[in-house]
Structure 1
Amino acid sequence: MRTTSPELVVLVDDDGVAVGTQEKATVHHEDTPLHLAFSSYVVDADGRVLVTRRAWEKITWPGVWTNSCCGHPAPGEPLDRAVLRRLAHELGIDADAADPVLPRFRYRAVMDNGVVEHEICPVFLVRYDAAVVDPRPDEVAEHRWQTWTEIVDDVASGTSELSPWCQDQVRQLQQLGPDPRSWPVSDAALLPPAARPL
């Protein structure tokens, strides 16, 4: 009988250097160690951004609306490859490239039940002209396309229902310009050491 290897996340120090791994199933609790992750924003040909509602079965932030896709790279996996892998798995999106736009984003957020997210979490832009989405129900409960202006205005007004990390990202991303498709791509050298291409 074949057994599946446990999914591992990369633990990092304050400088973003890899210091080990831990099983994803055990890493999130009230004292979650700092680890490597990513967030992505999928943008269609009209400049609309895909936002998703996390499946209700998720351990962290179930049923919460957030950016297009979040996840963790496997040990040694380049972050842009991890972004594309998770987009295909969660949303059926076959994209060509994922470009870093906030390479040093980092956050800590606490759920109502005390479970903590604690991540160095570079943010990636994915241009996707097909706009065809086929979400897995165990990953994504709902999805919608929104204009960037709507997202920014909701966050600025305090009425946004997006996740805490997504709202922090939106505040930083709006500094990159009003058109997501034109956001400048960051130098990969600015990614944390554990996430830089080899």
Structure 2
Amino acid sequence: MTNVILVNEQDIAIGEMEKIEVHEKALLHRAFSIFVFNSKGDMLLHQRAAGKYHSPGLWTNTCCSHPQPGEEIEASALKRLQEEMGFTTPLRRAFTFIYKAAFDNGLTEHELDHVFIGRYDGPVAPNPEEVDDYKYESLAAINEQVAQQPQQFTEWFKIALPKLETWMSLQEK
């Protein structure tokens, strides 16, 4: 049983609850998404394992999860990146956003998502319980794939991607 942190829209913790129950009740909770790029600027995507309880087999950002109660968000993100993808790299906080997405299985993600950015060129050793496949792709190729086959990507990824690109363009100015 894994608990997640319930939050209000200002990201103030208001309690904790078991992860599946939170998704059944569509309650707002804290999450994080990690986007890792290589030195060429390509993003590391992963395909969620077929056994995942929601969004199995869909492509998404490098890593995403929920900090555990009592865990600092960045420390949790680094730990989960190692657990899911088999590596760690320094992360930079980028932005947060709130989204809500219902799934065919009756569960709903309603998350205040903290987005982190990293750079990494080393070996990737994904956990097969979490990841079926992975690849590096250019942002142009990813956008083309999302436009042509949106059903192949997670809901949060499709929401976060344009926000990420906006954030990245503002960093260049």
**Under a length normalisation based on structure 2, what TM-score does the superposition of the two structures give?**
0.90
* CA distance in structure 1 between the aligned counterparts of 2:53 and 2:44, rounded to whole angstroms: 22
Partner of 2:91: 98
Specify the code of the residue in structure 2 equivalent to 1:159: Q
Deviations 1:41-88 (A, max 9, x none): 011121111111111111121111111110011113221111110110
Q: How many residues align?
A: 171
- 1:152 positional shift: 2.5
Q: Percent same amino acid among aligned pairs?
A: 35
Higher gyration radius (CA): 1
Specify the code of the residue in structure 1 equivalent to 2:121: D
Secondary structure of 1:90's aligned partner: helix
Aligned pairs for 1:1-198 (under 5 A) are 6-29=1-24, 31-95=25-89, 97-102=90-95, 104-130=96-122, 132-155=123-146, 157-160=147-150, 161-177=152-168, 184=171
* CA distance in structure 1 between the aligned counterparts of 2:116 and 2:88, rounded to whole angstroms: 15
Greater fraction strand: 2
Specify the code of the residue in structure 1 equivalent to 2:47: R
Secondary structure of 2:99's aligned partner: strand
* CA distance in structure 1 between the aligned counterparts of 2:130 and 2:168, rounded to whole angstroms: 30
Specify the code of the residue in structure 1 equivalent to 2:2: E
- 1:94 positional shift: 2.2
Secondary structure of 1:16's aligned partner: coil
- 1:158 positional shift: 4.6
- 1:153 positional shift: 3.2
Greater fraction helix: 2
Specify the code of the residue in structure 1 equivalent to 2:80: R
Deviations 1:127-151 (A, max 9, x none): 1121x11111111111111112211
Aligned-pair Cα RMSD in Å: 1.9
* CA distance in structure 2 between the aligned counterparts of 1:136 and 1:125, rounded to whole angstroms: 20
* CA distance in structure 2 between the aligned counterparts of 1:82 and 1:128, rounded to whole angstroms: 18
Secondary structure of 1:171's aligned partner: helix
* CA distance in structure 1 between the aligned counterparts of 2:148 and 2:104, rounded to whole angstroms: 19
Secondary structure of 1:138's aligned partner: coil
Whether contact under 8 Å (1:106, 1:122) holds in the other structure is no
